[in-house]
Structure formats: structure tokens, C-alpha cells
Structure 1
Amino acid sequence: MSIEQNCKVQGYLKNVCSHIKWTETHQQVKQELLTHIEDCISEYVAEGLPEQEAIQKAIDRMGDSETLGKQLHQTHRPPTDWKLLFIVAILTGIGLIALYSIEMQGLLTGRVSVPVFSRSLSYTLLGLVALLGMTYFDYRKLKVYGWHLFAGTMFVWLMILVLSNTVINGKPYLNLGFIVINYVDAVTPAFLAVALASIFINKEWSKNSWFLSPVLLLVVPDIFYIMSSSWATAGIYTVMFLAIMLLSGVDKKQLICIASIPISLFVFSILTAPYRLSRLLSFINPYTDPTGSGYLYIQSIEAIKSAGLWGQGFSMVVNLPEIHTDFIFPYIVHAFGWVAGAVVVVLALALVGIMMSVAIKIKDRYGRLMVGGLTCIFAMHFIWNILMTLGYAPLSDINLPFFSYGGSQTFINMAIIGLVLSVYRRKGLLSKAHLN
């Protein structure tokens, strides 16, 4: 009979774990205690003691099961990343204040007929429920469903492209009757990040056929994004995809090989449609066409330039469409000043930095890949939105996380934070593969 199956050892381990409330740590605690007990038994047997006497002496040496269990309960309490929650709370608060002032000043008159602030508040509260739910959900349960999640995401997407008659700003939306969801831009990047983390976790990059699945996983979604008129989201997905590949241990030459595929597709699409190049490069010198392709750049830049250190108040003379979504950053800067803009940038960098630090601290490979991919999504949204409003990136409908109006995006952003917190809670736990 092995030491692990000994009734005295089993009883001791069970008694210790009965005082540890977080059951997910029980298996790891048992493994750690069993290793110590086995070492003690080997030591006593080497001294000439009979095995049963050595077992009892080893257990006595470990200490009282109740006392040890209470000590381990304190040691293994699930941690919460309060810094991450604090920053999300501040960003969300600033966003709600901005949306409230936009609505109260009548800046949406003639553009949006819905109550922006009250709906945003409702979306935020619903998002908080998602955040809490995902925080207490064991993310490791998703590990075996990578291909299922990828296939399911693509199937729903295909049905939207084929059957959906709900098109907003030229993009197909998922219409469930009682709710309309921005499935393409808000949902798919997060779902695909979780799926890719699972698929690439045990990917053998040394095989001759290593490139088959990455090409499929990259090209098919990118084609779907293009078909959905979501070029910017295609770029975000591509960067996220390459980041997860890199974290999974791919060779740099292999990474470059895969990266060349979307780059080639992008160049080809530009060469076959010159008007796209004109739109893409209009941010380099928007004043060459101030009433056409450069108009929005100029309006956004002027709103930021005229803000001053402490802002010009809640009203806004500059005419900017979609001020509650794509161009909410220029409004915040114009209303509250360059100081407020700097605070937003610092908070965004801090949020991304904290998420990156979570990925680094994770022992579980799957959790590390998943948080790395989700961090890329946030980073790209922040960087692209802020740079385009400053005139340093092409215009797109990429919103500013936790600021811009949008129910689907708010819900998904909160759920992503909850998923990151779920990973952080289990940062000290080894994967089940290591425990078996």
C-alpha cells in the first residue's frame, strides 16, 4: 500500500483540508503535505523504525490538523487585485460623468434619440454582475473547449452574415428580438482570445505541419471581419493572435511567417481599392482635404488644442459626430482639460500594465496565454482610439474602453476584467496536469 492510500495519512489530510474554505486549493495542499510526510517517513524508516510507526511519527511531526488547517486557510485565501478594480472603477466613473454632461448639454440633439446616461448606467450595473460572476468562475473549466468555442463563435458569426437584417453603421448586428448585440466588434475578439489560449497551450511548433492550424485560425476570422466591414477589429484580432502565439513559445521565424499573411492581405486590399489608401493616409496631413477625409481629424484636434490646462467647460463648440462613442476622449479633454486627458492616458497604461503583470505571475500556462490575449485587446483599443483622436492613427469605430457608450462593449469589458480577476485568484495554483 502506498503512503498516499494509508488510512491515517488520508484522515490527516482530510482533517487539515476541512479547515480550508477554498476547496480549489485542497488538491494542491494535499500534494504539498503528502510530499513532506513522505520525506519524514523516509527519514524515520532510514533510522530503523517500522513503517507504521514512522507514518504516525511523521503525522505527529506535521502538527495538529486543526491548527495547521487554519494556518493554511489564511495562507491560501484567494487574493483579489484591488488595484485593477480601483482603476476600472475610476475609468468607469469618469466615463459616466462625461456621458451625463454630454447628454445634459444637448450635444446629442438630432443624432441619438436614446437616453445615453441612464442606459450606460444600466449597462454598467449589468456589467458589474458579469464581472462578479466571472471572478468566482473557475476559468480552467474552459481549457478543454478551445476548438468548440472557436467553432461556435464562427458559426454564430456566419449566421449573422447570412441571415441578419440588422445593420448599424454598415455592420451586421446580432438581433435577438429583445436586444441587439454588437457581436462582431464587442464579442468575437474576447471569445476568440479565450479559444486561442486553449488551442495553443499544447501546440507543438516543431512539427512540419505546424502552420496549418495557425493559418486557419488567423485567416478565417480576418476574412469574416472584412466581410463585416470591421477592418480595425481585424487588426486588433491579428495583433492579439500573434501575441498569444508568441506567449505559447513559437519561434520568431515562424511568427514572422504567419504575420506576413495578414500583412499581404492588407496590402492587396489597398492596391485593389486606391480609395482605401486615401482614407488610410488622410491622418498624415488632414488639412489637404479639410472638408472631406480630413474633417473629423481637424475637428478632434481642434477640440483638444483649445482645451487648455483645465478645460473649457461642458459645452462644445467644435462639431464632432459620435461624441459619445468614438470621440469621447476629445470631449473629456475639451471639457476637463489636458490634465484630465493625461489622467486618462495614465490610468489606461496602468490598467494594461497591471493586466500584463497578472499574466507574468500566473503559474498556469493557459491562464497566462488567455490574460495575455485579453490584455492585447484592451491595449489596442486604448492606443488606437486615443491616437486617432490626436490625428496619429487612421479613423475607425474603435471605442474607448469604460468610457464610450455601448451596451455590448461595456458588458464584455466588465466580463473580461472578471475573467482576469478569476485568473489572479488562482495565480498560486498549479494546473491539474502538474498535480496529477
Structure 2
Amino acid sequence: MSLFDKKYLKRIDWVTVGIVLALVVFGTIALASVQAKPFDGTEHGIADYMDKLNMEYLQKHITNFLVGLAAMIIFLVFDYSIFKTFAMWAYIGIIGLLMLLFIFGKVRGGAQGWFVFDTLERAIQPGELSKIALIVMLSKYVSAAMDRDGRLLKFKDVMIALGITFVPFMLIVLQPDYGTAIVLLVIMVVTFFVAQIKWIYIIFAAVGAGVGLPLMYFFVLTPKQRDRIDVFLNPSAASDDAKYHVGQSQMAIGSGRLTGKGFFGEQTLAQLRYVPARHTDFIFSGITEAVGFIGSTILIIVFFALLFRWMYIAIKARDNFGTCLVTGVSAMLAAHIFENIGMTMGIMPVTGIPLPFISYGGSNMLTNMIGVGIVLNVYMRRPMKRKRKHDKIRENGKTVVV
């Protein structure tokens, strides 16, 4: 069914649209600030400020958003029930791309998770798109397997859903990209929560995680990756190299104090290149340095507002498939927000995942905007409220509306 049906145009969730656009604009300003050459107070006009901006990053960031915007529109044009038709094909396609990475993929950030197109000066990360493929595939299977009360009760169905998640999860772990792999697990767990699986399954999963995580730490993770976890669990035991990223990030956050130094402020730590990955994984550090505790708190509140709005949309969905879709996208967003902000503050392990709508990165922006399109699609096609019909009767010679 086409978007251009007027009844759907009137049902777009402008709250979501407004918040997302505000985050993208804010992120663009933040990116311009942290990537600029250091300001020293000698700037007197727009030309002086423009001369210090890194226009290459800004142009690519804006292009990434426009590509994501086009994808968002595509994903909200047709009724979301059509996603069921393409769910398996999208899932198989992503699995194929993840496997091809081991042959043609390039290493970035220690993970062989990128297809790089040198002539276009572009790269794509299939692991990011695997989140959308998993959300749609899990939503299709879980919603179909639910009983009349919206519960996933059969052990067989739970195991199949686990298998659907396990395949892309392991392919991404082998890259290795543990940040993206964790997000896939969060999507699955939250989907199970919505499906109200039996507590016995949750207990078994918790026991399995309790046994599996230590084994992964000692026998699967590389020394560098173990260092990142040591910084979180036992900072005194971590290497100086591992502590450097978090230490510099915390220094920038602390220097922002209550109100911050302002975007394009003089001699900020981010502009002086003290903060690593200041435009991607650690952009929250540069933001907090610029806007301080008050500004960063407002940003977090805005993210929470978006998540709560999406929880409302999930509840209002017309069917279990729609509820699972919105829940999956919300879980993806929440995992990124909590992990990214947490790792910049040193209260979560450094896994290298970006801050949604704000960090620089085409694949992540595309994935997030597709997610927004899915959420808007579900909300536009929520059940219509029926107008109450009033009956007119004659009573004592008068017309009474009841």
C-alpha cells in the first residue's frame, strides 16, 4: 500500500521524525567541532571558522544521512507485512556477505568486517546491516510461533530463534567484532522478553552465559580485547595502552564540567587530538567537553524520550509482527546508546560501537535510518480509532443524543 494515501500521510509519527532530525543536526555540529583544527581565539569572521572545518568529513556525513533518508522512505512506503516476504532472502543475503568478508573483507579497527571500494572512497560494514536482517527475520518467526496470548512457549521455537541469531552472531564474532555481536544478542533477548518465553529458558540461558563468558574471555578473546575488559573490571591490571583510550575520554568529559567549553571552543582536547576516535566511537567525549554535564544530560534525556516513544508505538502496533519489529529496532538503538556512552565514561568495556545518528559512519547511519523507517511504518498502519456513533432518540418531545 502506498505512502501517498492521505490517511497514512496524516498518521506519520512526527515526534520520532523531529527527534531524529534534531539528533542528526546536533551530531553534524558536534562532528564539525571535534574534527576542526584547534580554535585559538584569533578567528573574527565566518571565513576564519570555515577555514578550520574539515569539510570532507562533513560532506560525507551529510551524504550518509541523505542516503539513509532515502532508505527510510523506501522502508515506510509499503505496508510492513511485505517484510515477511523478503525476510528470508535478506537474511540469507546478509549471511552470504558476512561469509565473503573472510575472503574479500578489509581490516579496520582490528576486525575484518569491511568491504572497501577505493574508487568510490567508500566502505560498507555488512555487520551493521545484519542487525536489520535479524530483526525482520526474528520478528517474522517469533510472531508466527506465538500462541493466542502472544507468548512463545514451545522449546522448539525458542531453539530455532536462537539458531537464527547464532549464525550471524558467530560470523561476526570470528571477524572479530564483539560490539556488533553483543547488539545482536540484545535484539534477541529483548524479542524473547516481548514474546514472554518461559522462565526456565531464561534460567538455562543465564547458566549458559555464566559458563560461556569466562571460557570466551580466556580462550577466544585476543590479548588486546581482554585488555579492554580489564579496563572495565580491573583497571589496575590493564595495560597502559588499554587504559589510554578510556583515560583520555574521561579527561575530556571532566574538562567540560557543568556547562562545557562550547562547540568550536578554544583549544579543546578533542580538537587537539587528545581524544582517540573522537568522530566515531568516542564522539560523546567531545560532546560532553563542549556542552558539559547539563548538555550531555539533555542529550541522554532526548535519547530516552525516543526510546519511550518507540515503546508506545510497539504497544499500539496492529499485530505481534509489528510489535516485534519496533521492539527489535528499539533494542538495537538502546544497546548502542548504553554501550557507547558507558564505554566513554569507563563504566562499560570498549567495544567500538557508534552513537546512533551522531557518530560518523555510513553503515551505521544507514542501519539506523532503516530502523526509523520500520518504526514509522508500523505506527502509520496502527489500528484506526473508530468514531463513536451516536443514536438520536425522542424523549418527552425532545431529541436526545445517546
TM bucket by the smaller chain?
Answer: 0.7 to 0.9
Equivalences for residues 21-100 of structure 1 within 5 A: 78-100=10-32
Q: In the alignment, which residue of structure 2 is the partner of 1:256?
A: 203
Q: Does 1:301 align with 2:250?
A: yes
C-alpha separation in 2, matches of 1:181 and 1:375: 23
The answer to whether the Cα contact below 8 Å between 2:134 and 2:165 also exists between their aligned partners in 1 is no
Change (3 A) 1:381 1:122: same
Secondary structure class of the residue paired with 2:232: coil
Please say if residues 325 and 404 of structure 1, whose CA atoms lie closer than 8 Å, have aligned partners that are also in contact. Answer: yes
2:232 counterpart residue number: 283
Q: Which residue of 2 aligns with 1:40?
A: none
Residue of structure 2 in register with 1:117 after alignment: 58
Residue type at the aligned position of 2:318? K
Change (3 A) 1:299 1:364: same
Quote the Cα distance in structure 1 between the aligned partners of 2:245 and 2:329. Answer: 30
* TM-superposed deviation, 1:306: 1.5
Asked if 1:325 corresponds to 2:280, the answer is yes
CA shift digits 1:28-82 (9 cap, x unpaired): xxxxxxxxxxxxxxxxxxxxxxxxxxxxxxxxxxxxxxxxxxxxx87x8751111
Alignment match, 1:335: 290
Residue 154 of structure 1, CA deviation: 1.0
Q: CA deviation at 1:292?
A: 2.5
Moved more, 135-144 or 319-328: 135-144
**Deviation sequence 1:127-161 (CA, Å, 0-9, x none):** 22222222223211012443333222212211222
* d(CA) in 1 for partners of 2:361, 2:166: 28
Distance 1:383 1:100, change over 3 A: same
- Give unpaired runs (5+ residues) of structure 2: 40-53, 147-151, 386-402
- Counterpart for residue 67 of structure 1: none
CA distance in 1, matches of 2:155, 2:258: 58
Q: Measure, in 1, the Cα distance between the counterparts of 2:216 and 2:27.
A: 36
State the alpha-carbon separation in 1 of the partners of residues 72 and 9 from structure 2.
20
Q: How many residues align?
A: 354
Q: Is the 8 A contact 2:357 2:365 kept in 1?
A: yes
Residue 380 of structure 1 pairs with residue 323 of structure 2: no
Secondary structure in structure 2 of the residue aligned to 1:401: coil
Is 1:128 the counterpart of 2:69? The answer is: yes
Aligned partners of 1:332, 1:206: CA distance in 2, in Å? 45
The aligned counterpart of 2:43 is: none
How far off is 1:277 after superposition? 4.3
Which residues in structure 2 correspond to 1:193-212 (within 5 Å)?
193-203=135-145, 205-207=152-154, 209-212=156-159
Partner of 2:380: 425
**1:259 Cα deviation (Å)?**
5.2
Deviation at 1:323? 0.3
Amino acid at match of 1:394: P
Q: Determine the C-alpha separation between the residues in 2 that align with 1:356 and 1:101.
A: 33
Aligned to 2:308: 353
1:169 matches 2:109:
yes
Name the residue aligned to 1:228.
Answer: 175
Task: Give the Å deviation of 1:191.
Answer: 1.4
Structure 2 SS opposite 1:282: helix
Q: Secondary structure at the match of 1:90?
A: helix
- Paired residue for 2:100, among 152, 159, 164? 159
* Corresponding letter in the other structure for 1:103: Q
The CA deviation string for residues 261-315 of structure 1, in whole angstroms up to 9 with x for no partner, is 4554332111326845443131245466573321211111111111122212433
Counterpart contact for 1:290–1:298, Cα < 8 Å: no
Cα deviation for residue 219 of structure 1 reads 2.5
State the structure with more CA Rg.
1
Quickly say closer, same or farther: Cα 1:22–1:225, change in 2 above 3 A: closer
Q: CA contact under 8 A between 2:336 and 2:354: conserved in structure 1?
A: yes
- 1:262-277 matched pairs, under 5 angstroms: 264-272=211-219, 275=223, 276-277=225-226
SS at match of 1:115: helix
1:382-425 deviations in whole A, cap 9, x for unaligned?
01111111110001111100110011111221121111101100
In 1, the alpha carbon distance for the partners of 2:24 and 2:302 equals: 11
One-letter identity of the residue aligned with 1:170: G
Structure 2 Cα separation of the partners of residues 267 and 290 of structure 1: 20
Of residues 132, 135, 138 in structure 2, which corresponds to 1:190? 132
Q: In 1, are the aligned partners of 2:281 and 2:353 still within 8 Å (CA)?
A: yes
Partner AA of 1:232 in structure 2: G
Task: Verify the 8 A CA contact 1:309 1:337 in the aligned structure 2.
Answer: yes
Letter in 2 for 1:283: F
Q: Give the Cα separation in 2 of the matches to 1:78 and 1:351.
A: 20
- Which residue identity lines up with residue 129 of structure 2 in the other structure? V
Measure how far apart 1:231 and its partner are: 0.9
In the other structure, the counterpart of 1:181 is 124
Q: In the alignment, is the contact (CA less than 8 A) between 2:91 and 2:130 conserved in 1?
A: no
Report which stretch shifted further, 186-195 or 139-148: 139-148
- TM (normalized to structure 1)? 0.74
Q: 1:425 to 1:170 in 2, by over 3 A?
A: same
TM-superposed deviation, 1:344 = 1.0
CA offsets 1:208-235 (integer angstroms, 9 cap, x no match): 6345413322322221121111112111
Task: Call closer, same or farther: CA 1:208–1:428 in 2, change over 3 Å.
Answer: closer
Q: Which amino acid aligns with 2:131?
A: P
Higher relative contact order (CA 8 A, sep 6+): 2
